[in-house]
Amino acid sequence: GSTIGILGGGQLGRMIAMAAAQLGYRTHIFAPEESGPAADVSPRWTRAAYEDAAALAAFADSVDVVTYEFENIDPSAVETLAHHGLVRPGAQALRVAQDRLAEKRFVCDLGGLTAPFAPVESLDDLENAIDAIGSRAILKTNRMGYDGKGQARLSEPGDAVGAWNAIGRQSAILEGFVTFAEEFSVILARGADGEVRFWDSSANVHVDGILSTSTIPAGPAIAAQVKQARALARKVADALGYVGVLTCEFFASAEGPIFNEMAPRVHNSGHWTIEGAVTNQFENHVRAICGLPLGDTGLAAPRVYMRNLIGDQAGEWPAILADPANHLHLYGKHEARPGRKMGHVTRLGL
Ligand code: ATP
Ligand code: MG
Ligand code: MG
């Protein structure tokens, strides 16, 4: 059989590896850590730095296709891999998605709506950006942020210095604060032949910048904007020649769907698809990158609810397991820390 290489060994890599195994593929993880959630289910693991060109080349030669579960990888590493074999999605998707400024410009060029934004390289830039955008804003590092890390909220002009220090005085973007009714994501799979399939859009609730719950069906504010959001997400995928699962996050606002960010990978807000859809995001990602036909993205139940288990909630597992409507997923992480995603629970309903 064939082997899929995965950059990153976290829970997303774990769930990709499980889907790969179901379809008869082996997986080989490449990650700088010694181990991680994907190690339990992947037969091979290479521990090396993303800067290690020789290790990357050896990894690429050991697999039939390379994908990633984590977008904060130096694109030159992905280019090194691409010289040795197939990388899906490709380096351009990674380049755009890992830089908030590039990402917003890319989406604006395609006709998408974003929060007003300005690049910030200095405190001076930040003060000018506040003049232009307003002081109700969020300062975000351009790179490496996830789960709301690397962000500082501003409410008045005097917050500039504190915010600039809080994000470590690095290349950033100031975004106007968007007033939105609800948040949702568009998750699509694009096959090697360009076929695109969408899952239903869940209403996503974030707490402290971290996804807390995803609910299907979403309410009317979201339902009214999904068509327009999908059209944009498809344009993004087509423009990038994308192969695999792509996630675009949106705010449902009075002006229509406002694009927040994209993830060039499977996404936490799609975990509900494991039980809640005919074909889940991990399987369709594997199918896409392996050049197989995509599976049906339709709902397996009329109502689906996913809740993240963050920090130490082990005390709740027995009660979760006692309810037959629940599906418990644990990522095998040894240490529960506050804000750390330890697992999730999906509930199907009528
Ligand atoms: P993820 O884990 O989704 O990658 P992230 O660290 O990249 O998170 P964002 O998605 O940019 O962070 O922001 C996290 C959350 O903060 C959003 O889902 C939203 O709730 C809120 N948020 C972000 N940007 C804005 C904005 N411009 N206006 C209002 N709320 C925002
Ligand atoms: Mg993000
Ligand atoms: Mg986000």
Q: Distance from the CA of 144 to the center of ligand 2, in angstroms? A: 8
Q: Which of 27, 57, 60, 107 is nearest to 282 (CA)?
A: 27
**Residue 309 sits in the same domain as residue 220:** yes
| 98 domain-assigned | no
Residues 121 and 40 reside in one and the same domain: no
Residue 254: exposure state from Cβ atoms within 10 A (0-12, 13-18, ≥19): exposed
Handedness of CA 203, 209, 211, 213 (dihedral sign): negative
| Ligand 1 proximity of 152 Cβ (cutoff 6 Å) | no
Which residues lie closer than 8 Å to 251 by C-beta, 6 or more apart? 115, 178, 180, 182, 183, 257, 258, 260
Q: Residue 64: pLDDT above 90?
A: yes
Same domain, 28 and 141: no
283 lines ligand 1 (CB under 6 A): no
Model confidence over 115-168: pLDDT tens digits? 999 999 999 999 999 999 999 999 999 998 888 889 999 999 899 999 999 999
Single residue among 50, 70, 87 that ends a domain in this structure: 87
Is 235 annotated in a binding site? The answer is no
Q: What is the pLDDT of residues 296-331, one digit of tens each?
A: 999 999 999 999 999 999 999 999 999 999 999 999
Report the C-alpha gap between 238 and 185 in whole angstroms: 18
Q: Is 209 in the pocket of ligand 1 (CB under 6 A)?
A: yes
Q: Residue 259's pLDDT band (boundaries 50, 70, 90)?
A: very high
CATH classification of the domain holding 161: 3.30.1490.20
Q: Is the CB of 116 under 6 A from ligand 1?
A: no
Together in a domain, 326 and 198: yes
Question: Which ligand gives the minimal distance to the CA of 97?
Answer: 2
Q: How many CB atoms lie within 10 A of CB 193?
A: 10
Average pLDDT over residues 27-42: 97
Write the residue with the smallest CA distance to atom 16 of ligand 1.
Answer: 209
Q: Ligand 1 pocket check: which of 246, 260, 271, 308 to mutate, most ligand atoms within 8 Å of Cβ? A: 260
Q: Which pLDDT score is estimated for 209? A: 86
Report whether residue 146 contacts ligand 1, using a CB cutoff of 6 Å: yes
Q: Has 92 been labeled as part of a binding site? A: no
CA angle 65, 66, 70 (to 5 degrees): 155
Domain of 60, in residue numbers:
3-87
Q: Which of 160, 176, 192 is the last residue of a domain?
A: 176
Q: Could you tell me the two tokens for 117?
A: 């934004």
The answer to the question of residue 345 being in a domain is: yes
Q: Is position 92 within any domain? A: no
Q: Which residues pair with 343 in a beta bridge?
A: 309, 330
Residue 149 annotated as lining a ligand binding site: yes
Tens of pLDDT, residues 191-206: 999 999 999 999 999 9
Name the percent of the chain lying above pLDDT 90: 93
Interface pTM, i.e. ipTM: 0.98
Ligand 1 lined by 268 (C-beta under 6 Å): no
Alpha-helical segments (H) within 38-171:
53-61, 75-84, 91-97, 100-109, 123-133, 160-166
